[in-house]
Amino acid sequence: MPAVLRQDGESFAVYTYREFISMKKTSLLKKEIQFLKEEHGEYARFYWQEGGGIEAVFSRDAGYLLAESVWQYFKGPQDLLYCEQLEGKKTALLVVIRDNLVYLDEEVSLENLVNELETLTMGEHQYDVYIYGGVPISDTPGGGDEVFAFNKEKIRSFNILKESAFLKLPLNPDFLLLPVDQAIADLKLKEPSVIPFIVGAVALGVVAYLGYQELNPPPPVPKAPAVVNPYAGYEQALMSPSPQDVMSQVSDSIRLLYTVPGWVPKQMTYSHGSLSVRLVSELNASGDLLLHWIKRYNMSLGVEENGATLNIQFNLPPRPQPKVLYQLKEVLSLLFDETHLIFPGSTISFTQPSVQGVYSSTDLNITFNGASALVLDLYGKLLGDKPVVINTMTLNVDSGLLSGQMQLTLLGA
């Protein structure tokens, strides 16, 4: 649930997405914000930071920012941990501030709270702790496994509130989430003015013209540097053919190859929209039948000892220009789970992410056994909406089942 409704009808946003955006040309900054909006929600707030960067906060629901409201209510401690049970619920609000930055804002079940805190309190931070209601938190050990006890060195102060802080949080307009376009306008971004440069250039031009008109021709006007789109590589890569289209055509081709009279596919390699297939003859099958079949489907043929090779060209349309900048770690985690589900016993390895400006990419190698053409088709459907490029596939066929490797590239922030 991305927002918590208070008794007075006011909403406070939790599970917000936060990212630090470095300053750049206004048009590029707005484009980056639109990417983030598509993935993380249409409500946002932007705050200028020291050094000129912007802290961007996104939510899918409107309302006030809970973490900032809590932090201000407790007068801005450097490290804060606030936990309050919601009235009539078995859930609690949990806010964690580290080094004056929001680390966590969520609504968590009381049952899972202890496990959550054991992870959160690792590190060197010393917290001002504020709790209210029946939350299983203590500043002394001895409460059993169902109660989280802080180590003394992790506590700067431990405060048990006598009344709800959530019900008393002020409605600060600076913490009210706005529609993204309105939040951008609130930043009051301006492109650098060119007027002073024009005035200076005109003055210099007049002096040069009057003093040296006959002796020195005016120098050529330098061309303005081209504006570089930092997302160009990301967009170009994801406008390649869809993984779903690639897998679908590979799967259809495999099924089609089993209709060749007396010949069976043994090895296949996919690369850049082309499938190379090695066929072997069963029981000295006729080459004439193979030639007739190839002519019917308009494929190219190569002859080799004890077999033949086919080359199948796919018709793969490009994907539309991407509108979302995905989170690389999230997609990678999801891809791991789905790959092991579709290919039980498969192995996955990946390279260290390569940072390319505002996005990163990583290469994945997937090794699998005992799959069918139908399974490849299903895997393609799972990849269809992900920021994935299929580079190569090497397949071996044994008794109608496929084994081999796939090499993919995954892109994201």
Least confident of 210-214, 231-235, 368-372, 400-404: 210-214
* 172 and 293 assigned to the same domain: no
Domain total of the chain: 2
Percent of the chain scoring above 70 in pLDDT: 84
* 250 and 146 assigned to the same domain: no
Identity of the highest mean pLDDT range in 24-38, 220-234, 246-260, 276-290:
246-260
Asked whether the predicted pLDDT for residue 239 surpasses 50, the reply is yes
* 254 and 395 assigned to the same domain: yes
Q: In sequence order, what are the beta bridge partners of 311? A: 276, 300
* 261 and 373 assigned to the same domain: yes
Residue 336 to residue 329: CA distance in whole angstroms: 11
Domain that includes residue 68, residue range: 3-186
* 179 and 45 assigned to the same domain: yes
Asked whether the predicted pLDDT for residue 206 surpasses 80, the reply is no
* 165 and 253 assigned to the same domain: no
> What is the amino acid identity at position 260?
V
**Is 269 domain-assigned?**
yes
Q: Which of 92, 150, 93, 145 is nearest to 120 (CA)?
A: 150
- Tell me the mean pLDDT in the region 15-21: 84
pLDDT, greater one: 259 or 14: 14
CATH at residue 276: 3.30.70.60
Q: Please report the pLDDT score of residue 196 as a whole number.
A: 46
* 11 and 144 assigned to the same domain: yes
* 281 and 132 assigned to the same domain: no
**Is 20 domain-assigned?**
yes
* 171 and 299 assigned to the same domain: no
Residue 126 to residue 128: CA distance in whole angstroms: 7
**Is 395 domain-assigned?**
yes
**Is 108 domain-assigned?**
yes
Asked whether the predicted pLDDT for residue 348 surpasses 80, the reply is yes
Kindly report the average pLDDT of the chain as a whole number: 82
Q: Please report the pLDDT score of residue 149 as a whole number.
A: 87
The long-range contacts involving 269-274, CB below 8 angstroms and separated by at least 24 positions, are: 269/392, 269/393, 269/394, 269/395, 270/246, 270/390, 270/392, 270/393, 270/394, 270/395, 271/391, 271/392, 271/393, 273/241, 273/313, 273/314, 273/316, 274/311, 274/312, 274/313, 274/314
pLDDT, greater one: 119 or 90: 90
Q: Please report the pLDDT score of residue 85 as a whole number.
A: 94
- For tokens 């997405």, what's the residue? 17
Identity of the highest mean pLDDT range in 144-153, 170-179, 256-265, 346-355:
170-179
Asked whether the predicted pLDDT for residue 363 surpasses 50, the reply is yes
- Measured distance between the N- and C-terminal CA atoms of the chain, rounded to whole angstroms: 24
**Is 222 domain-assigned?**
no
**Is 193 domain-assigned?**
no
- C-alpha triplet 17, 20, 21: angle, nearest 5°: 115
pLDDT, greater one: 164 or 147: 164
Q: Please report the pLDDT score of residue 227 as a whole number.
A: 55
Q: Please report the pLDDT score of residue 197 as a whole number.
A: 45
Domain-ending residue, one of 186, 218, 245: 186
**Is 194 domain-assigned?**
no
Q: Could you give the C-alpha distances from 354 to 297, 334, 389, 405, in angstroms and in order?
A: 42, 19, 15, 22
**Do residues 77 and 18 make contact, with C-beta atoms less than 8 angstroms apart?**
no
Q: Please report the pLDDT score of residue 219 as a whole number.
A: 60
pLDDT, greater one: 140 or 201: 140
* 127 and 12 assigned to the same domain: yes
Domain-ending residue, one of 186, 210, 225: 186
- Tell me the mean pLDDT in the region 112-127: 78
Taking only the tens place, the pLDDT of each residue in 312-328 is 888 888 888 887 778 88
> How many of the other CB atoms lie within 10 Å of CB of 242?
23
DSSP H stretches of helix in 3-109? 26-40, 66-73
Phi and psi, residue 410, nearest 5°: -115, 135
Confidence of residue 210 (pLDDT cuts 50, 70, 90): low
Asked whether the predicted pLDDT for residue 83 surpasses 90, the reply is yes
Asked whether the predicted pLDDT for residue 157 surpasses 90, the reply is yes
Taking only the tens place, the pLDDT of each residue in 174-186 is 999 999 999 888 8
Q: Please report the pLDDT score of residue 305 as a whole number.
A: 60
DSSP H stretches of helix in 213-304? 232-238, 243-257, 287-297
- Tell me the mean pLDDT in the region 105-134: 84
Domain-ending residue, one of 169, 186, 203: 186
**Is 206 domain-assigned?**
no
pLDDT, greater one: 307 or 42: 42
* 262 and 116 assigned to the same domain: no
Residue 92 to residue 89: CA distance in whole angstroms: 8
Identity of the highest mean pLDDT range in 48-52, 73-77, 190-194, 231-235:
73-77
* 316 and 387 assigned to the same domain: yes
Q: Please report the pLDDT score of residue 169 as a whole number.
A: 95
Least confident of 72-76, 83-87, 153-157, 353-357: 353-357
